[in-house]
Amino acid sequence: MFVSQISFRIRTLGMGIVATAAAALVASCVSTAPKYPAPVVAPLPEPAQVTKAYPVERSPAVVGEELKGGVLPDTAGPGALLGISLNGTPVYLSDYHGKVVVASYWASWCPPCWTELPQLEDIRTEYNGRAVEIIAINVGEVRSAIDSFLQQQQKPLRFTIVSDRAGQASVIHGVKAVPSTLIFDAEGKVSKRYAGAFGFNAQRIRSDIDTLLSHRG
């Protein structure tokens, strides 16, 4: 009886030591594991309703800081609206027929966008004179936010910048978060789609552009 009690206590003590050691090992692994930041993906506000028919207003009015005007096509495609230019005119994908279009959807409050857009400016410079167009589409912000962002850049962003104030044009193209990058081929069809901070890779975009340019012949 006495021997059994000693044996039981020894087994219990042994189990406790094993459990303590295991806990220490797990804690060590957790403390030394690399800390990867969570992907930065900011959801866009859902519109009340997105239908296939929208009023067309070729000369949208600029009221205060907000760009107004529902210039939207019946369906997404080569003729779809990308946004309203900073001088108040609509910008359609069909305006760049025959070109590879890299469309970056961004917002001034989106930290990864501050990194991505200067890289896209580098790409614009590299492909200048070729059939490539870089377009930065601001989603959901007033004009003063766009201007403030541009003024704080270390180097000028010379690609086309448009506003999708209501976010409807972005939804038409299936964009649900910023940052997002869509690459359209020369026929206006989506060739590649990259979403989130870790989806963007400048070298990969260069490769996509080269592939599409080679297909043009």
Average pLDDT of span 160-174 = 89
pLDDT of 46 strictly over 50: no
Nearest of 149, 166, 137 to residue 45 by alpha carbon: 166
| Higher-pLDDT residue of 161, 171 | 161
Least reliable range by pLDDT among 5-19, 28-42, 75-89: 28-42
pTM of the model: 0.67
What are the pLDDT digits (tens) for 178-194? 999 999 999 999 999 99
What are the pLDDT digits (tens) for 56-82? 222 222 222 333 333 333 345 667 889
Average pLDDT of span 44-58 = 32
**Range 42-46, long-range pairs (CB < 8 A, 24+ positions):** 42/107, 42/109, 42/110, 42/177, 42/178, 43/176, 43/177, 44/139, 44/140, 44/167, 44/170, 44/171, 44/175, 44/176, 44/177, 44/178, 45/140, 45/167, 46/171
> What rounded mean pLDDT belongs to the chain?
73
pLDDT of 137 strictly over 60: yes
Whole-angstrom distance, CA of residue 210 vs CA of residue 217 = 11
Helix axes 111-126, 202-215, angle to 10 degrees: 40
Strand partners, 63: 66
Q: What is the pLDDT of residue 78?
A: 65
Do 60 and 88 touch, CB atoms closer than 8 A? Answer: yes
CATH of domain 42-215: 3.40.30.10
